[in-house]
Amino acid sequence: MNLTEQLLTALKKHGARQIFGIPGDFALPYFRIIEESQILPLYTLSHEPGVGFAADAAARINGSLGVAAVTYGAGALNMINSVAAAFAEKSPLVVLSGGPGKNESRSGLLLHHQAKTLDSQFQIFKEITCDQVRLDDAERAPADIARVLASCLRHSEPVYIEIPRDMVAVPCADVVPEAAFQVDPDALNACVDEVLERLQQAKSPVLMAGVEVRRYGLEDKVATLSRRLGLPVVTSFMGRGLLADQDAPLVGTYMGVAGFPEVTQLVESSDGLFLLGEIICDTNFAVSETKIDMRKTIQALNGQVNIGYHTYANLPLAAVVNHMLERVPGPDKAFSVTPQSFPIGLAEDAQSITPTDIATAVNDLMAQHGKMPMASDMGDCLFTAMEISHTALVAPGYYATMGFGVPAGLGLQAATGERPLILVGDGAFQMTGWELGNCKRYGWDPIVLLFNNASWEMLRTFQPESHFNDLGHWGFAEMAAGLGGDGVRVGTRGELKRALDKAVATRGKFQLIEITIPRGVLSNTLARFVAGVKRLNAAK
């Protein structure tokens, strides 16, 4: 096999199931091998940010590697924001980039797509990936590939692989995956002893599940553990969608002042808060009603466990969870929680639509037709997603980039074969909505709920006096036909209900429902968030 075939085979062995990409002249040679070898299917999109988001979403939903393949310079640098999002939110995204051939670098001429030096791109990606390699040595390539892919999975963070274009077809030996990381059994024992003791001493322990639980494929184990220990479970904002398909004592999503008071109260009054794979970021914790003292929590994150004032290093989350399960063999503890409820039963009338009406309509839809996985963009649509009953969700809840929703939805369908629901605002749709034009070629048929308030409404909530937040009215519904899908504009609750029913019944084409929402009308969750933040700021 040649170097590219070995790389593709290794990607597959490490869990990748498909590649998203856009070629260029530096990438044509390795793209040819991707296509002809048929080791992994290739889906090309239209713009590199979309490629990165789609591959990231595939990684998130499958809990395995996502692969984004691009060309040097204009291609790879166009994807920086998507890779930064994956890094921040701990998604195992593999970036493949073409690169100049070894002899080209010696020509003395500046090469097209070169930013500063030929090494600039490598240096830029160093900042937002956990491991990197330029495959310029066929002898070393198998070990380098094995190391980089192991890093990607171990840290659940993006990695960067550059393939010089004159290296793609050189003969190359098999990639032997690295041996599993060896955990120190004594450290693990001591750590689990202490965690269990803390949880047993606590009067009201709570487990908060974060994204690493999904990244490392631990949802069923965490559900079992919480049942055996009698631990009520919440997710963070970023972890929303976790445990949706598990038998777990899931109460709801913690959002501090923006959340349901019962959940906020449960978390903030807990004397044994167990943060499992939880990113300690502002969108998860800055909106607390009563500030959570992180030193009093138990935190398992980034391959270590922090308890009180000390740290157990080199303990991967999976090892901790597995060992806890061994130590707590069951049976389940008898206890019950009162799960947060969600709005249902949308009135089919002529009233204008609020974001919470959309959540209600989706809840009705899923109750009738079954759950759908969701991809959400940043904007009020993401706060609205918190009012939709628990289902798999991919969303940029921490890094908060716009433009994620539509391409992530395409990534979901490519990765799972399931029909996704995409939630997106008009501002975000203006960025990457165009990628829907690729659905037709691949037979993807997502249902897209476009929250059209002709506004950057989230920004308006922070700074109402600024006129630049007014966006024009774009005829999104009319654009759908040209992109190969069906589009409809709805302005009343009755129309919304009928459009959703029709969308569910129509397969084979994407279904775009452009929902007109009056400016200034927020979801209940965003309204609580804005009021809460104002209250917290006023108290400072």
Binding residues for ligand TPW (CB under 6 A)? 378-380, 400-403, 425-428, 451, 453, 455-459
The footprint of Mg ion on residues 347-386 (CB under 5 A) is none
CB of 339 vs ligand TPW, minimal distance in Å = 27
Residue 180, number of CB atoms within 10 A of its CB? 10
Total residues in contact with Mg ion, by rule CB under 5 A: 6
Structure-token pair, residue 297 = 């929590």
Q: Where are the beta strands (DSSP E) in 86-158?
A: 93-99, 131-134
Residue 403's binding partner among ligand TPW, Mg ion, none (Cβ under 5 to 8 angstroms by kind) is ligand TPW
DSSP-assigned letter for residue 113 = T
Residue 428's binding partner among Mg ion, ligand TPW, none (Cβ under 5 to 8 angstroms by kind) is ligand TPW
Q: Which amino acid is at 249?
A: P
Residue 121's binding partner among Mg ion, ligand TPW, none (Cβ under 5 to 8 angstroms by kind) is none
CB of 517 vs ligand TPW, minimal distance in Å = 8
CB of 46 vs ligand TPW, minimal distance in Å = 17
- Of the pair 379, 485, the CB lying nearest ligand TPW is at 379
Q: What are phi and psi of 510, to 5 degrees?
A: -65, 145
- Of the pair 144, 380, the CB lying nearest ligand TPW is at 380
- Of the pair 260, 476, the CB lying nearest Mg ion is at 476
Alpha-carbon gap, residue 340 to 335, rounded angstroms = 16
- Of the pair 305, 381, the CB lying nearest ligand TPW is at 381
The footprint of Mg ion on residues 436-465 (CB under 5 A) is 453, 455, 457
- Of the pair 243, 281, the CB lying nearest ligand TPW is at 281
Task: Sketch the per residue contact string, 406 through 435, with Mg ion: x for CB under 5 A, - otherwise.
Answer: -------------------xxx--------
CB of 23 vs ligand TPW, minimal distance in Å = 25
CB of 456 vs ligand TPW, minimal distance in Å = 4
Closest CA to 199 of 64, 280, 297, 84: 297
- Of the pair 203, 467, the CB lying nearest ligand TPW is at 467
Alpha-carbon gap, residue 30 to 69, rounded angstroms = 9
Contacts (Cβ under 8 Å, ≥6 apart) of 32: none
Closest CA to 431 of 405, 396, 398, 400: 405
CB of 409 vs Mg ion, minimal distance in Å = 18
Alpha-carbon gap, residue 289 to 293, rounded angstroms = 12
CB of 111 vs ligand TPW, minimal distance in Å = 29
Burial of 324 (0-12, 13-18, 19+ CB in 10 A): buried
Query: Whose CB is nearest to ligand TPW?
Result: 425
Query: Whose CB is nearest to Mg ion?
Result: 425
- Of the pair 71, 453, the CB lying nearest ligand TPW is at 453
Q: What are phi and psi of 98, to 5 degrees?
A: -65, 165
- Of the pair 139, 465, the CB lying nearest ligand TPW is at 465
Alpha-carbon gap, residue 166 to 4, rounded angstroms = 11
Distances (CA, A) of 301 to 9, 60, 160, 267, 312: 30, 17, 23, 19, 11
CB of 68 vs ligand TPW, minimal distance in Å = 17
401 binds Mg ion (CB under 5 A): no
Q: Please work out, in degrees rounded to the nearest 5, the angle formed at the alpha carbon of residue 275 by the alpha carbons of 92 and 219.
A: 55
Residues that bind Mg ion (CB under 5 A): 425-427, 453, 455, 457
